[in-house]
Structure 1
C-alpha cells in the first residue's frame, strides 16, 4: 500500500475586474499614487547610503507616504517592504559581480546601484485580509485612496472555484492592461498536492529545450514528442525587430505605436510556454521529469563576444538569449505537481554531444552543430535534440534510483 503525504504549492490566478467608471478612476489613482510612493522611498534609500533595511525605510518615510501620497496604512508598510526587497536584490548582484571580477571571470562592473532604482510599472501589491478580501457572488473588496469598494469579477472557472473554496489565499497584485484599459487582480493561491515519492513516480522523462524545438521529450520506453517553435519564434522575432525600429525612430507616432504593441512579444512567448508545459505534464502523469540545469547557460553557449565578433555570431548570441527557458521550466515544475509528478534539475553538460548508446562524447558527433547526431564511435544516428532528451532521461533515472535506495533526492527540485 502506498501512503501519500501532503505538500503545498503556489499558483497565480488572474481574475478580471468588472469596473464602473467610478471604480476605474479610483483604482487608477491608487496605482499611480503607489508608484510615486515607491519612487520617493527608493530615492530616500539611495540618499541614505543605499540602505535595504525595511524597518529603517519604514521609520524614515511612513509619515510622508501617508500624508503626501495619501496611501492607507497597510499600503504604506508594503511600499517600504517592496523597496527593501528591490535594494536587497541589487546588493546581491553587486556582491556577486565583485566576486566574479576578483576571480577574473568578468571585467564589467555592475551599475544597478549607480542611481536610485526607478519604478515604472504602476502595479500595486495588496495584502489579503488587509487590502482586499473576497465576497459572495464573485465579488471582491479592494482598498483605494477613497476607501474600500466592492467590484464584481470573472475568471478561469478552476481558479474561481479554488478562490471560493479549497485554497489558501495570499497576496495579490493589481495590474492594469493599458492597451485594453482593463484591470486584473493577480491572486496568489496555495493549494494542497500529494508529496511525490519514488513509488508514485512510475515513469521517468527527460525534457530538452531549445529554439528550433521549444521542447523535446523522451521517456524510458523510447516514446518521444516534439514541440516545435516554427510558428511562434518567427512571430516573436518580428515583434522584437519592430519594437527596435520604433524605439530607434523615437517620434511621437512611433511611441504611440510602441504603447499599442507593448507586451505583445512577451505575451506570445508566455502563452507558448504555457501551452507546451501543459502538453508535457498531461502526457506524462505520475512522472519524474528531468530538466536541464541551465545556470549560466548563456555564458557557456555564447559563440564569441567583443569588438571582433562577426555579425553572424552576434545574431546567434541574440537568438539564443531571447527565449525564456527558465519560465518554461518553472511552468513545467508547478503544473507537474498538479498531475502528481515532480520536476528536478539534472546536469546539462554535453547532453547534445554524448552518445546515448555507447557514451562517446565529442563535438564532432554533431556535424556543423546541426540537427543530426552521428556518433563517431558506433555510428548511432538520431535527431540531435532527441539525443539530448534521452541523455537527460538517463541522468534523471539515475537520480530516481538513488532516491529509491537512499530515501533522499540528490538532484535539486525545480523552484516552485
Structure 2
C-alpha cells in the first residue's frame, strides 16, 4: 500500500484544520503485449517532451511561467511527439513547476550566502534540468477513467485502451464506492517489467472536535533514536536508529569506492544501492509510524516543527588561526556528521505519522521544537549545559533532575501539546502547525511554554 498525506487548510482567524486525506492507490495494470508496447511508447514520448520543454525554458531565460511555456511549445509537442492535448498541457505545467522550485532554491541559497551560513553557490540552474524518469501524469475523466469489473480506460499515443487492474482491497473498495478521484501517474517498474497506475484518492474527514482526543503523545525524533514517545502519564517508548545508521554508513563507504571507479557498471550499482537504502529507510519509518499510531488510539500527537533544522545542525568549518587565510579543511568526523544529518528522514516519518494518525482516529499537530531538549520539565531551567557534550543524558543544572535526553524532549512536547489542547477547548480553534511568520506571537508562545511543569 502506497499512501501519502495532504492537508486542506482553511484560513479562519489564522486557524488551520484537516478536512481531507489524500491516499495514493497503487494499481497493477494487467496489459497485453500490444497494450504494454503502447503504454511504454507513450511514457518515452512524454519524457522526451519534458526534456524538449526544459531546454526551451532554459534558452528563454530559464522561464518558469507555465502559460508562456505552453504557448511557446504546445504546437511542437502535438506535432513532433504526437501527444494528446491534455498531456501537452501537463508537460508545460510540470516543467514550469520544476523551474519554479529551482528558482526558489537559488534565492534561498543567495540569502544563506549573504548571511554567511554557506559559501557554496547553488548550481541547479547552470544547465537545463534533464528528466530521466518516464513517469507521466494523467488527469481523471480526461486521460483516464474507471470502468466496471476492475477495468480502467487509459489514453495513449495510439488512442484509448481498456486495461484490467488489481490492487489493495481497501483501495479498490474506495474506488468502487465512489471516492473522489484526482490525477494519477503511470509508473513503470523496471525490475518486474510491469506498469502501475498511482491514483490519488481524496477522503473527506469530519471536522475534529476537542472531546475526541483524550490521550496526549509527544514524539521526539532524532538520529541515534529515530523516535522517542511519551504520554501524559510518562509512558515511554524508544525506537533505536542504530541499525539504520550502520546500514547508511555501510552504503556510504560502498558508494565512495564505486565512485572512484567511475565505470558504467559502478554507476548502475550505485543507483541500485541508493534505491535499496531508500526502501530500507522508508520501511523503518513505516514500521515506527504504524506502531506509534496503533499503540495510541484517539490521541492528539505532538510533533516537532523542524523547519530549517538542517542549516542549524550543520557542522561548520572552523576558522584558521589569526594570520592565516580561509578556513580549516573539514575533518572526516565533520563530513560524516553532515552526511548523517543530511540523510535524516524526519520529514518522511512526520508525514507517515500524520496520515496514519488521521486514518486511525487520531490527529497529529506541529509544535515549536525550540529548547525541548534543553529545558528541564521539572523546574523549567533552560540551558545548553543541561546536556553535557550533547549526549543522551539530561542533567538539570538547577534541580539536578536526570533523565534520557530524548525522553525529556518527548515530555516537553507532551506539555506543549496539552497547552494547545487547552487553548483549543477555550477558544474552539486549533492550529495544526505553528505560525512562524509572526516573531512576537512566537516569542509569546515560547514564554508561556517556559511556565509549564511536569508533575
Fold match (TM-score > 0.5): yes
**Structure 2 residue 330 is matched with structure 1 residue 318:** no
**Structure 2 residue 280 is matched with structure 1 residue 268:** yes
Q: Distance in 1 between matches of 2:102 and 2:251?
A: 30
- Structure 2 unmatched runs, 5+: 1-16, 318-326, 436-455
| Deviation of 1:57 (Å) | 1.1
* Structure 2 residue corresponding to 1:296, chosen from 308, 320, 324: 308
For 1:285, what is the secondary structure of its paired residue? coil
**Kept after mapping to 2: 8 A contact 1:205/1:219:** yes
* Structure 2 residue corresponding to 1:330, chosen from 340, 348, 351: 351
**Kept after mapping to 2: 8 A contact 1:35/1:123:** yes
CA-based RMSD: 2.1
**Kept after mapping to 2: 8 A contact 1:239/1:264:** no
- Tell me which residue corresponds to 2:439: none
Q: 1:310 to 1:283 in 2, by over 3 A?
A: same
**Kept after mapping to 2: 8 A contact 1:207/1:289:** yes
* Structure 2 residue corresponding to 1:402, chosen from 388, 407, 423: 423
**Structure 2 residue 214 is matched with structure 1 residue 193:** no
For 2:48, what is the secondary structure of its paired residue? helix
**Kept after mapping to 2: 8 A contact 1:179/1:260:** no
Q: Distance in 2 between matches of 1:394 and 1:308?
A: 42
- Tell me which residue corresponds to 2:110: 98
**Kept after mapping to 2: 8 A contact 1:128/1:169:** yes
Q: Distance in 1 between matches of 2:431 and 2:259?
A: 47
* Structure 1 residue corresponding to 2:44, chosen from 20, 32, 42: 32
- Tell me which residue corresponds to 1:144: 156
Q: 1:6 to 1:208 in 2, by over 3 A?
A: closer
Query: Structure 2 length as normaliser, TM-score?
Result: 0.85
For 1:148, what is the secondary structure of its paired residue? strand
Q: Distance in 2 between matches of 1:90 and 1:373?
A: 41
- Tell me which residue corresponds to 2:239: 227
| Deviation of 1:102 (Å) | 4.0
Deviates more, 1:363-372 or 1:43-52: 363-372
- Tell me which residue corresponds to 1:130: 142
**Structure 2 residue 355 is matched with structure 1 residue 341:** no
1:6-85 aligned within 5 A: 7-85=19-97
Deviates more, 1:232-241 or 1:163-172: 232-241
For 1:277, what is the secondary structure of its paired residue? helix
- Tell me which residue corresponds to 1:204: 216
**Structure 2 residue 382 is matched with structure 1 residue 370:** no
Query: Structure 1 length as normaliser, TM-score?
Result: 0.92
| Deviation of 1:266 (Å) | 0.9
Q: How many positions carry a matched residue from both structures?
A: 410
- Structure 1 unmatched runs, 5+: none
| Deviation of 1:280 (Å) | 1.2
| Deviation of 1:19 (Å) | 2.8
Q: Distance in 1 between matches of 2:193 and 2:274?
A: 13
- Runs of 4 or more off by more than 6 Å in structure 1? none
**Kept after mapping to 2: 8 A contact 1:34/1:71:** yes
**Kept after mapping to 2: 8 A contact 1:399/1:411:** no
Q: Distance in 1 between matches of 2:206 and 2:236?
A: 26
